[in-house]
Structure 1
Amino acid sequence: MSSSVLTFLGAAESVTGSKFLIDTGASRTLVDAGLYQGLAELRRRNWDPFPVPAGGIGAVVVSHAHLDHCGFLPRLVKEGFDGPIICSPDTAELVAIVLRDSAHLQEEDARQANVGGYTKHHPALPLYDLEDVERTLPLLVPTEFGTTVDLAPDARVRLRPAGHILGSSTVLVESAGSRTLFSGDLGRGEHPILRAPDDPPAADTIVVESTYGDRRHPDRDPDLLASVLRRTISRGGTVLVPAFAVDRTELVLLELHRLMSEGTVPRVPVYLDSPMALRALAVYREALDSGSAQLRPDLDRVRAALHAMQVQAVPDAAGSMRLNRPDHPCIVVSASGMATGGRVVHHLAHQLPDPRNSVVFTGYQAVGTRGRQLLDGVRQLKMYGRYVPVRAEIVDVPHFSVHADADEVVAWLARAPEAPQVAYVVHGEPSASHALATRIRDDLGWCTVVPRLGERVRLD
């Protein structure tokens, strides 16, 4: 019998760029095809030649629709991949939205760099364009949770709900007699829409994320968001909320609706300034209306709130520009969540210098992103080739996180029906990955490793 080899092509001692290749000698399966984000040295990896011929990969399995797990797909297709892309039905819908937006942003960033002259490349080019995306989307194969899909004569896959965002999955690949479980991004039991992740199935090898591997989420502060909203509104300022367009936007809007409905904060206009977030919101509303096994029961209140909330959509660029300096207190929810691109960047450029304003972060900020720099206290921030002073109030509201923390990851692993031969800890900054690996060894007694980028390991 042939043996499988697992190669860590991304998210090894870093949070982004998830790519894991299983090679049996007779077939190749790639689990996740994510973009690197954050530090320039990481983003440059997106341009590196792919370590194996893209055309030699038989299938790709995508755990969920966040860019650091699916954003490399069009580049892979551009380099010759033409096989099936297995994912859940909701992930397929959201991936189409995310990839089209990604291509648009890359094309626009290249255009602005060429016009503004702040590029080392002549000309600056996008990693991929909309044409590459449109060649990618027909390859998506929507697959229901619990369904076994044959990828090759010696490889098959099964998805289970991961509770992170709509459609998110854990991935079990059976290849050449070995069973490898990928956690993808694990959710929490506190998501207001999604059920907690399904318990892990039996596996010989587990590849687990460690985004929050060195910490525990703080207890929820019920007044943290409300207090910054009240302060900013009383100053006559704007509250800018950089939010991930998929899932985080929905959770932020639900909380704003609740706070205003209860009278906890004054009613002011709430603008949703992200075409991608508007399309994702429609997918969430549709999923809530149709029902799904991944959703919590008794969602009537959430369903009603998502339909009833008073949100002013900003679909066009001209309307977005008008929000750079609003003439009235308001809340602007815009993408991207780490302020790496999109409309939120020009809002930051105009609003950071004004001390009346505030910027509220609601999710993980990777090293090297503008969001991380702001949370770390920088006094000036570079955008569009120039620096702007940071005088606005910067606030972190961590309770929106939909990543399992260290306690929750270990508890999930402990529910596995049997111990794996090895657990590999990925998708975390080095300190987080190593801390979680130590915790798993100490608490569960498992053989646990933090792999290096490009490392190859046998699975039999």
Structure 2
Amino acid sequence: MKSIKIHFLGASCTVTGSKFLLESQEANILIDCGMFQGIKELREKNWEPFPVDASIIDFVLLTHAHLDHTGYLPRLVKQGFRGKIIGTAPTLGITEIILRDSGKIHEESAERANEEGYTKHQPAEAFYTIREAENTLGFFRSEEIDHWITLTKNIKYRFQYNGHILGATFIELDISGKIFVFSGDIGREHDLLLYPPKKPEYADYLFVESTYGNKLHPVESVSEKLVGLINETIENRGTLIIPSFAVERLQTLMFILWKLYKENLIPDIPVFIDSPMGNNVLSVFQKFPDWHKIPPKDFIAMQNRMNIITSYKETWETIDNPRPKIVIAGSGMVTGGRVLTYLQQLIDRPSTLIMLVGYQAEGTRGRQLFEGAQEIKFFGKYYPVKAKVHHIESLSAHADQNGLLDWMSEIKNTPEEVFLIHGEPTALDAFRVKIKDTYNWKATIPKLNEIREIKIEISE
């Protein structure tokens, strides 16, 4: 009888910072390696030393490429990690884009804070640099989905298609016959771009996300909502600003707008795409057509319909353009990126409309706007919010409570334990009760930095 120690190093009693370390005598495996986002208390945890010696970790298995699942990788390498970082090819392709872009943003943010003096640190430092991001890429190794891959004598794993974003999977980890399933972020059954997520068939220990564990997505027509906002933008000769996640959400919005234009449901209003990371992700979509639903010819036509901004000079030209227009810019929670420049200049105008899409984490500017903030702080200064703020939740890439329960519905055995992760406290507790009522399974809510020990038979 041996033991497996599970370290809950992130996304525990909170949504972001996904990191789960399985410590065993054969190998130490980290599932995801994400950054904390949101409130200052969480963001500051990114700067703390990693809770275990990074050099003892043999493998990092990635469920998908989002920053809260991959954004800590350069810091892990900096602290001594020398193992393998394994994901699907699209996941690693997008992760490379995200890490390079994040390194650039970290460098620029530190430089700007030092130049303009709105930092308490002397000097402000980048969380990681472009070079440190690039140093991480040498540890990448891609693997296919749907087949078991051996790590050690008694440990093997398998990636399974999970929707959510391009390349996303859930991970099945077989340790001496015991199946540990890590859900990652679960996609939706009916998605414009992606296929439905697969479902696990066996799970002795199930680690499941709970972002919308207490909610059902509203039944609303995204197209009708967009048509209304676009017509209002034209009437007011204003700007419709859509802060967007660069991965998946941006491509979905482009596809919806292209279809509306193609079907003559909206006039010929210019659409500006201002997301360097999102532009790079478009190339990953083209490289992996089997992972999504859009035919290549439609994908090219969609891009040709948009004005793809490639320089900061063009960003300012777009802001100064007096025509009614749509701007889609990163980031989706208004935490950084080009959207800050647009909002800094246009948020105090009543003719500006802001459409938030998807989940807005606690402590982000997106959450503040969603909750009706009268002023927002950018680059050390406050700006009054006179723009109208709208929210479309049904574009979320996460399954809601019913979707999460359905994802578990084909598990043939009764899990020994279900660990609820990646959720805010109210969502976690509501989902715990729902799982008990639906399946009569034991579900627990691990705390951040909690360590659980599981006894397991391991053959010699």
- Taking structure 2 as the reference length, the TM-score comes to 0.96
Matched with 2:458 is none
Q: Secondary structure at the match of 2:2?
A: coil
* Superposed CA offset, 1:402-430 (max 9, x none): 10000110111122121211001110111
Equivalent residues of 2:354, 2:387 under 8 A apart:
yes
- Is 1:14 matched with 2:10? no
Equivalent residues of 1:338, 1:369 under 8 A apart:
yes
Of 248-257 and 197-206, the range deviating more from structure 2: 197-206
Matched with 2:287 is 286
* Superposed CA offset, 1:157-209 (max 9, x none): 21000111110010111235432100000001111221111111312100000
Q: 2:316 aligns with which of 321, 327, 333?
A: 321
* Superposed CA offset, 1:84-132 (max 9, x none): 1110011011111011001011111111111111111101111111111
Matched with 2:356 is 361
In structure 2, what residue type is equivalent to 1:209?
E
Q: Secondary structure at the match of 1:271?
A: strand
Q: 2:306 aligns with which of 311, 325, 339?
A: 311
Of 176-185 and 48-57, the range deviating more from structure 2: 176-185
* Superposed CA offset, 1:50-105 (max 9, x none): 11110110100010010000000011001110111110011011111011001011
Q: Secondary structure at the match of 1:170?
A: strand
Matched with 1:236 is 237
What is the alpha-carbon distance in structure 1 between the residues aligned to residue 363 and residue 438 of structure 2?
32
Q: Secondary structure at the match of 1:246?
A: coil
What is the alpha-carbon distance in structure 1 between the residues aligned to residue 321 and residue 413 of structure 2?
57
* Superposed CA offset, 1:13-55 (max 9, x none): 1111000000113421000000111111110010111111101
Q: Secondary structure at the match of 1:459?
A: strand
Equivalent residues of 1:24, 1:176 under 8 A apart:
no
Matched with 1:270 is 271
Q: Secondary structure at the match of 2:207?
A: strand
* Superposed CA offset, 1:211-270 (max 9, x none): 111100000224112111110121000111111101110000001111122222221111
CA drift of 1:451 comes to: 0.8
Q: Alpha carbons of 1:413 and 1:333: their partners in 2 closer, same or farther (altered >3 Å)?
A: same
Equivalent residues of 1:58, 1:152 under 8 A apart:
no
Equivalent residues of 2:273, 2:327 under 8 A apart:
yes
What is the alpha-carbon distance in structure 1 between the residues aligned to residue 203 and residue 453 of structure 2?
14
What is the alpha-carbon distance in structure 1 between the residues aligned to residue 394 and residue 376 of structure 2?
26
* Superposed CA offset, 1:432-452 (max 9, x none): 111111100111100000111
Structure 2 counterparts to residues 167-178 of structure 1, below 5 A: 167-178=167-178
Structure 2 counterparts to residues 298-447 of structure 1, below 5 A: 299-300=294-295, 303-309=296-302, 310-447=305-442
Equivalent residues of 1:354, 1:391 under 8 A apart:
yes
Matched with 2:92 is 92
Equivalent residues of 2:214, 2:430 under 8 A apart:
yes
Matched with 1:126 is 126
Q: Secondary structure at the match of 1:144?
A: coil
Structure 2 counterparts to residues 208-223 of structure 1, below 5 A: 208-221=208-221, 222-223=223-224
Equivalent residues of 2:233, 2:325 under 8 A apart:
no
CA drift of 1:305 comes to: 2.9
What is the alpha-carbon distance in structure 2 between the residues aligned to residue 283 and residue 429 of structure 1?
31
In structure 2, what residue type is equivalent to 1:331?
I
Any gaps of 5 or more consecutive residues in structure 2?
456-460
What is the alpha-carbon distance in structure 1 between the residues aligned to residue 40 and residue 99 of structure 2?
21
Equivalent residues of 1:225, 1:397 under 8 A apart:
no
* Superposed CA offset, 1:372-404 (max 9, x none): 100100010001000001011111012211100
What is the alpha-carbon distance in structure 2 between the residues aligned to residue 233 and residue 13 of structure 1?
43
Equivalent residues of 2:88, 2:143 under 8 A apart:
yes
What is the alpha-carbon distance in structure 2 between the residues aligned to residue 258 and residue 338 of structure 1?
25
Matched with 2:152 is 152
Q: Secondary structure at the match of 2:3?
A: coil
What is the alpha-carbon distance in structure 2 between the residues aligned to residue 320 and residue 439 of structure 1?
47
Q: Secondary structure at the match of 1:156?
A: strand
Equivalent residues of 1:178, 1:459 under 8 A apart:
no
In structure 2, what residue type is equivalent to 1:426?
I
Of 279-288 and 332-341, the range deviating more from structure 2: 279-288
What is the alpha-carbon distance in structure 1 between the residues aligned to residue 319 and residue 3 of structure 2?
57
- CA RMSD in angstroms, aligned pairs only: 1.3
Equivalent residues of 1:257, 1:305 under 8 A apart:
no
- Is 1:27 matched with 2:27? yes
Equivalent residues of 1:268, 1:329 under 8 A apart:
yes
CA drift of 1:286 comes to: 2.6
Q: Alpha carbons of 1:175 and 1:30: their partners in 2 closer, same or farther (altered >3 Å)?
A: same
What is the alpha-carbon distance in structure 2 between the residues aligned to residue 176 and residue 413 of structure 1?
23
What is the alpha-carbon distance in structure 2 between the residues aligned to residue 231 and residue 71 of structure 1?
38
Q: Secondary structure at the match of 2:184?
A: coil
Equivalent residues of 1:161, 1:170 under 8 A apart:
yes
Matched with 1:258 is 259
- Taking structure 1 as the reference length, the TM-score comes to 0.96
Of 373-382 and 172-181, the range deviating more from structure 2: 172-181
What is the alpha-carbon distance in structure 1 between the residues aligned to residue 129 and residue 150 of structure 2?
31
- Work out the percentage of aligned pairs sharing the same amino acid: 38
Equivalent residues of 2:74, 2:132 under 8 A apart:
yes
Matched with 1:193 is 193
What is the alpha-carbon distance in structure 1 between the residues aligned to residue 183 and residue 349 of structure 2?
42
Matched with 1:137 is 137
Matched with 2:64 is 64
